Amino acid sequence: MYSKMKKEAAAAAVVSQNGSVNGSQNGLSHSMAALGLDSAESAKAALPDPTADENGGEENDVKVDIKRGMDTATFRRVGKQMVDYVADYLENIGDRPVLPNVQPGYLRDLLPGAAPERPEDFEKVMEDVESKIMPGITHWNHPNFHAYYPSLNSYPSILGDLLSSAIGCVGFSWIASPAATELEVIVCDWMVKAMDLPSHFLSTSETGGAVIHGTATESTLTCMLAARERAIKDWLKEHPESGYFDAFSRLVCYSTDQTHSMIVRNASFIGIEIRRLHLPEGRTSLNRKEFVQAVEEDKAKGRIPFFVCGSFGTTSSCDFDPVEEIGPVCMSERIWLHIDAAYAGAFLFCPEYRPLMRGIEYADSFNFNPHKMMHVNFDCSALFLRCVEDLFDGLKEDLLSGLKLMKIFKEQGIPDYRHWEIPLGRRFRALKIWFVLRSMGLQGLRKSLRHHVQMADHFAERMGADPEFEVLTKSLGLVTFRVKDTDAVNALLYNLICDDGRIHLNAAETGNPPTYYLRFVCTSHAEQKDVDFAFDVIKSLTARLRSRRLSLSEVQAEREKMLNNLAQQRRITSTG
Ligand SMILES: Cc1ncc(COP(=O)(O)O)c(C=O)c1O
């Protein structure tokens, strides 16, 4: 405080000394005068001393490494401790509650309202991690986590991310970090081969290629933009009298009411009408007849059908749209066929699941999230394209036309990935994929995927063998089930599971009128004993709810709670 006062006094002295010396009549000095200052010098002097901090301390006294935030010796020490912390966390994750027991806003009460002026010891930060942050974490890699779809991590992936952070490159063009770009091309080609995807997705194919984005939402958005421009171009060729915005206003795209809600958001981002085709009761995938009928209806109204998002593993029941039926329609109508395989795509590493992808050769784009089932930690979404040039057209910029970009990419086999995505900057995500592929091998990945399916099968068997429950669907690692009772009872069960907190799963609803049900997914961390534990928790809570006699108002309250829970979930797992 004392030194701050000294500085203020010194600054005031400078103002009075200099004030009489500088008196130029330029605009600046006019505005200075308006501020009660006589010159630029005096203005400078009136500014607070930038080296003084709030508490009167001096930045010059601060012991901090301004190059790296901490000195290397400390980094080595706490970095090794952090690796131990991460290993202990993951090794003993089952000892923590899977769901945090905190109320909204809990953290605000625990942390200061402003950032610290002075550097703090990292040990102190870590104490707060354990005492304040961890109690507010939902543990996605916990053996009792059966919600959403998994986001598996792995040590190789964590190490890949660590190294990527250390390198810290922003590989938007080849020269911005050649290895970042080239490794991305290589791991994408590896995935095409390992998953037996069509060879037109390879970088070495005539027109195709692949790119790694952060999320399925972004991947799908870029495809919708590409499809939009392709459709407008086609329309203007056939209708030269029409204009760009006339064509734009005629565009319509499709999904079913089971397709992930990202499609609705994306359609609104790009200003296009979407038709969510409602499937008849009891069916969760599209058929050719319904699709053709919708396309014909729209064409008759002068609309331009231009994009359809087929699901390879829906969120609500992991169902598959019959791509071999709708693919030929897309081909003949030149409708862009995008396949959202965010969760289920990884299962294509296992040959036994490949029959599910019949017709994939019709797809213009195929997208899956390695950050779900491939042990690559969030975020990481791989997008494979039949014709990369379409993408360049969709994201076109002034300097280079799509054609030129395509020529450069195909001649050199080297993309400038900034032209393949919405942001300019991009992380070096290929590193973590590469680490996982090399450390686990394809055999390790297949083993993990098969274990996941076996655990879900075991859960379905236990549910199916119990007369109190019915299994509605079982697909890959997802089981949907209900108590054989009313929706209200199922809602009550779900609320009890949430309140109990020993396991975490989601509910969903489908059909019209909707049927309410629960979803159960495993992570590869779950073993049979964990699945049995989950079943026992559900069974005991069902027994508890049956023993309760609820008044009408209690039933209404439970229903409201269920609707709230559903609304909350819908932000993430929505299909409707
Ligand atoms: C089938 C499906 N598609 C798309 C998404 C959206 O994924 P992202 O969060 O990567 O955008 C999800 C999310 O879980 C999903 O399950």
Please report the pLDDT score of residue 31 as a whole number: 39
Atom of ligand 1 nearest to the CA of 214: 10
CA–centroid distance, residue 426 to ligand 1 (Å): 20
Atom of ligand 1 nearest to the CA of 218: 11
| Pocket of ligand 1 contains residue 516 by CB under 6 Å | no
Q: Is the separation of the CB atoms in 452 and 524 below 8 Å?
A: yes
C-alpha 223/C-alpha 254 separation (Å) is 13
- Is 230 within the bounds of a domain? yes
- Is 547 within the bounds of a domain? no
Please report the pLDDT score of residue 251 as a whole number: 97
Please report the pLDDT score of residue 224 as a whole number: 96
Pocket test for ligand 1, best of 221, 222, 340 (most atoms within 8 A of CB): 340
pLDDT at 235 > cutoff 80: yes
The tens digit of pLDDT for each residue in 96-114 reads 999 998 889 999 999 999 9
- Is 271 within the bounds of a domain? yes
Cis before 379? omega within 30: yes
C-alpha 274/C-alpha 189 separation (Å) is 33
Q: Whose CA is nearest to atom 2 of ligand 1?
A: 342
| Pocket of ligand 1 contains residue 343 by CB under 6 Å | yes
| Pocket of ligand 1 contains residue 367 by CB under 6 Å | no
Residue 210: phi, psi to the nearest 5? Answer: -145, 160
The tens digit of pLDDT for each residue in 344-389 reads 999 999 999 999 999 999 999 999 999 999 999 999 999 999 999 8
Reduced to 3 states (helix: H, G, I; strand: E, B; else coil), residue 339 is strand
Of 266, 270, 278, residue with least CA distance to 251: 270
Of 149, 509, 457, 188, residue with least CA distance to 313: 149
Residue 550 confidence class, pLDDT cut points 50, 70, 90: low
pLDDT at 43 > cutoff 80: no
CA–centroid distance, residue 342 to ligand 1 (Å): 5
Please report the pLDDT score of residue 44 as a whole number: 54
What residues pair up with 336 in beta bridges, in sequence order? 307
Q: Which amino acid is at 56?
A: G
| Pocket of ligand 1 contains residue 140 by CB under 6 Å | no
Atom of ligand 1 nearest to the CA of 340: 3
Pocket test for ligand 1, best of 145, 315, 356, 421 (most atoms within 8 A of CB): 315
Reduced to 3 states (helix: H, G, I; strand: E, B; else coil), residue 311 is strand
CA–centroid distance, residue 545 to ligand 1 (Å): 33
CA–centroid distance, residue 217 to ligand 1 (Å): 7
Q: Which secondary-structure segment (H or E) carries 4? A: helix 2-19
* Percentage above 90 pLDDT, the chain: 65
Cβ neighbours of residue 164 closer than 8 Å, sequence gap 6 or more: 427, 428, 429, 431, 432
pLDDT at 2 > cutoff 60: no
Helical spans, DSSP H, in 465-551: 487-500, 528-546
Residue 63 confidence class, pLDDT cut points 50, 70, 90: confident
- Is 170 within the bounds of a domain? yes
Greater confidence (514 vs 81) lies with: 81
| Pocket of ligand 1 contains residue 321 by CB under 6 Å | no
Of 348, 387, 353, residue with least CA distance to 369: 348
pLDDT at 230 > cutoff 90: yes
pLDDT at 267 > cutoff 50: yes
Cβ count near 305 (within 10 Å): 25
The pLDDT of 434-449, averaged and rounded, is 97
The pLDDT of 59-76, averaged and rounded, is 86
Q: Is the separation of the CB atoms in 191 and 197 below 8 Å?
A: yes
Please report the pLDDT score of residue 570 as a whole number: 44
Greater confidence (54 vs 447) lies with: 447
Tokens matching residue 449: 């995927």
- Is 422 within the bounds of a domain? yes
Pocket test for ligand 1, best of 263, 316, 343, 372 (most atoms within 8 A of CB): 343
Domain count, the chain: 1
Exposure pattern of 377-404 as b/e (b: 16+ CB <10 Å)? bbbbbbbbbbbbbbbbbbbbeeeeebee
C-alpha 440/C-alpha 460 separation (Å) is 28
| Pocket of ligand 1 contains residue 320 by CB under 6 Å | no
Residue 368: phi, psi to the nearest 5? Answer: -140, 160
- Indicate the Cα dihedral angle 471, 476, 478, 484, nearest 10°: 0
- Is 79 within the bounds of a domain? no
DSSP conformation letters of 57-94: -BGGG----TTTSS-HHHHHHHHHHHHHHHHHHHHTGG
Please report the pLDDT score of residue 42 as a whole number: 54
Question: What does the DSSP 8-state code read for residue 527?
Answer: -
Please report the pLDDT score of residue 508 as a whole number: 87
Cβ neighbours of residue 342 closer than 8 Å, sequence gap 6 or more: 149, 216, 260, 313, 367, 368, 369, 372, 381
pTM over 0.75: yes
CA–centroid distance, residue 312 to ligand 1 (Å): 11
Greater confidence (42 vs 440) lies with: 440
C-alpha 287/C-alpha 309 separation (Å) is 13
Please report the pLDDT score of residue 488 as a whole number: 82
- Indicate the Cα dihedral angle 281, 285, 289, 293, nearest 10°: 80
- Is 129 within the bounds of a domain? no
* Mean pLDDT computed over every residue of the chain: 85
Please report the pLDDT score of residue 13 as a whole number: 34
The CATH number linked to 218 is 3.40.640.10
pLDDT at 22 > cutoff 50: no
Residue 157 confidence class, pLDDT cut points 50, 70, 90: very high
Please report the pLDDT score of residue 391 as a whole number: 85
DSSP conformation letters of 410-476: HHHS---GGGGSSSS----THHHHHHHHHHHHHHHHHHHHHHHHHHHHHHHHHHHTSTTEEEEEEET
C-alpha 161/C-alpha 159 separation (Å) is 5
CA–centroid distance, residue 381 to ligand 1 (Å): 10
| Pocket of ligand 1 contains residue 262 by CB under 6 Å | yes
| Pocket of ligand 1 contains residue 430 by CB under 6 Å | no
The tens digit of pLDDT for each residue in 467-485 reads 999 999 999 999 999 999 8
- Is 304 within the bounds of a domain? yes
Report the alpha-carbon angle 143-148-149, nearest 5: 75
| Pocket of ligand 1 contains residue 210 by CB under 6 Å | no
The tens digit of pLDDT for each residue in 269-317 reads 999 999 988 877 667 778 888 889 999 999 999 999 999 999 999 998 9
C-alpha 31/C-alpha 84 separation (Å) is 59
Q: Whose CA is nearest to atom 6 of ligand 1?
A: 216
Residue 515 confidence class, pLDDT cut points 50, 70, 90: confident
Greater confidence (18 vs 559) lies with: 559
Of 434, 439, 451, 477, residue with least CA distance to 150: 477
Range of the structural domain that residue 327 is part of: 158-397+405-436
Tokens matching residue 520: 């159960």
